[in-house]
C-alpha cells in the first residue's frame, strides 16, 4: 500500500469542480491511502469526502516564512508519497514540487505543467475548459477517468432540517446576488426586479431566499428576500450545499454557489458578463445553464425571469 497526495487549496467553486477528479484518483488507487493537502476553509469539509483518508492543513503562509515552509515540507516528506496529484496547479504548488520532487515526471508529480501537451504552450492549454484540463492531466498520468468530467459534490451536504423548520419554508427559489468586492464585474444589478417578477407570477408558491456569506450579511439587507443564517452566522459549506440541492431553482452570479449548483444536479441559471465564459469554467450541466452577455447591466430581469419560468413550468 502506498501513500498518494492530492493538492487542492480552493476556492469554493474549484473545490466542487475537483470532486470528480478526486474520485477518479481514489478509484484508480483503491489499495492506497489518499491524503489531501488543503487550506483551513475546506479542512473540515473534506473530512466528509468518502474518497479521502486523511487531511493535511496548509496555512499557505508567505513563502519567505522559511520556518513554516520547513515544517510543512518535513510533514509532507514523512509520508513518503509515491505520487502527487496537483489539482491546484498554481505557482505555489509548483514551488512545492521543486522542493519535494524536483526531477519528477508526470507519473510521480501530476500537474498541468508536467502533463502539458507537446504541441501547446501553457497559455494555449489554459484556453481549454477546467474539467477538460483535469481530465487530460489525469489521463496523461496513467489514470482511467470516468468522473472527472462529471463532478458530484453531493458528498458535501448535511442535514438542514432545523434551519428549514426555524424559517418555515418548503418550496423555494434561491438567489445569490453577491460577489467578491474586487470582482464587481460579475455582479448582476437587477435581483430585486427579478424578485418582483417572481412574486407577481407565483405569489406564495415559492419562498424567495438568499444565503449570504460572512462578508455579505449586510449586503443581504438590500435584497428583498429572506436571508438565511444559522444563529446569526453564515451557513457553512455543507449547509449551503444542502440548501442548494433541495431548491426549486437557483439564480446566481458566477461565484462558488453557482458551481455547487452545477455539481449537485440542481436546476438553475448563472449570469456571465465579459470576465470569462461558461465553457472555460465548465459550469453548464444538464439542469444548470448560463446566460452570457457582454455587459450584465444590459441583461434585463425580464429575460432572466423568462428562462426561470420556463424551467418551472
Please write the tens of the pLDDT for every residue from 137-153: 999 999 999 999 999 99
For domain 160-312, the question of CATH label 3.40.50.2000 is answered with yes
Q: What digits encode the pLDDT tens for the residues 91-123?
A: 999 999 999 999 999 999 999 999 998 887 888
Q: What is the pTM (predicted TM-score) of this model?
A: 0.94
CA distance 265 to 251: 14
**183 or 7: which carries more pLDDT confidence?**
7
| Structural domain 3-151, CATH architecture | 3-Layer(aba) Sandwich (3.40)
- Ranges of each domain in the chain: 3-151, 160-312
Mean pLDDT throughout 53-58? 98
Which residue is it, cell 492543513?
57
User: DSSP assignment of 171-225, as one string?
Assistant: SEEEEE----TT-GGG--S-HHHHHHHHHHHHTTSSEEEE---TTTTTGGGGSSS
54 forms beta bridges with: 35
Is the peptide bond between 11 and the residue preceding it cis, with omega within 30 degrees of 0? Answer: yes
| Backbone phi, psi, residue 159, to 5° | -80, 125
pLDDT of residue 115: 95
Measure the CA dihedral 260/263/266/269, to 10°. Answer: 70
Question: Residue 184: is its pLDDT beyond 80?
Answer: no
Task: Tell me what pLDDT residue 121 has.
Answer: 82
pLDDT (tens digit per residue) in 217-230:
999 999 999 999 99
State the pLDDT at residue 126.
84
Q: Distance (Å, rounded) from C-alpha 21 to C-alpha 143?
A: 10
Q: Is the pLDDT of residue 301 over 90?
A: yes
Contact between 22 and 51 (Cβ < 8 Å): yes
CB 79 within 8 A of CB 35: yes
pLDDT beyond 90 at 182: no
pLDDT for the residue 179: 83
> Matching CATH topology for 3-151 and 160-312?
yes
Amino acid at each position: 500500500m502506498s501513500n498518494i497526495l492530492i493538492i487542492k487549496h480552493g476556492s469554493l467553486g474549484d473545490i466542487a469542480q475537483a470532486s470528480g477528479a478526486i474520485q477518479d484518483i481514489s478509484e484508480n488507487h483503491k489499495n492506497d491511502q489518499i491524503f489531501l493537502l488543503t487550506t483551513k476553509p475546506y479542512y473540515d469539509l473534506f473530512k466528509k469526502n468518502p474518497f479521502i483518508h486523511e487531511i493535511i492543513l496548509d496555512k499557505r503562509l508567505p513563502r519567505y516564512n522559511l520556518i513554516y515552509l520547513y515544517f510543512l515540507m518535513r510533514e509532507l516528506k514523512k509520508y513518503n508519497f509515491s505520487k502527487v496529484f496537483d489539482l491546484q496547479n498554481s505557482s505555489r504548488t509548483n514551488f512545492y514540487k521543486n522542493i519535494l520532487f524536483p526531477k519528477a515526471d508526470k507519473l510521480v508529480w501530476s500537474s498541468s505543467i508536467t502533463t502539458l501537451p507537446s504541441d501547446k504552450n501553457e497559455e494555449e492549454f489554459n484556453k481549454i475548459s477546467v474539467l477538460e484540463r483535469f481530465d487530460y492531466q489525469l489521463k496523461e498520468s496513467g489514470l482511467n477517468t470516468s468522473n472527472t468530467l462529471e463532478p458530484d459534490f453531493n458528498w458535501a451536504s448535511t442535514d438542514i432540517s432545523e434551519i428549514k423548520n426555524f424559517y418555515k419554508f418548503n418550496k423555494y427559489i434561491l438567489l445569490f446576488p453577491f460577489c467578491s468586492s474586487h470582482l464587481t464585474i460579475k455582479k448582476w444589478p437587477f435581483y430585486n426586479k427579478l424578485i418582483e417578477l417572481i412574486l407577481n407570477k407565483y405569489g406564495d408558491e415559492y419562498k424567495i431566499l438568499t444565503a449570504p456569506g460572512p462578508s455579505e450579511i449586510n449586503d443581504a439587507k438590500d435584497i428583498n428576500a429572506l436571508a438565511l443564517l444559522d444563529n446569526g452566522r453564515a451557513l457553512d459549506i455543507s449547509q449551503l450545499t444542502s440548501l442548494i440541492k433541495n431548491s426549486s431553482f437557483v439564480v446566481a452570479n458566477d461565484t462558488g454557489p453557482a458551481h455547487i449548483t452545477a455539481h449537485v444536479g440542481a436546476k438553475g441559471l448563472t449570469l456571465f458578463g465579459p470576465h470569462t465564459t461558461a465553457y472555460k469554467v465548465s459550469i453548464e450541466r444538464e439542469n444548470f445553464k448560463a446566460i452570457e452577455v457582454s455587459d450584465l447591466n444590459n441583461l434585463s430581469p425580464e429575460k432572466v425571469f423568462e428562462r426561470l419560468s420556463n424551467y418551472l413550468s
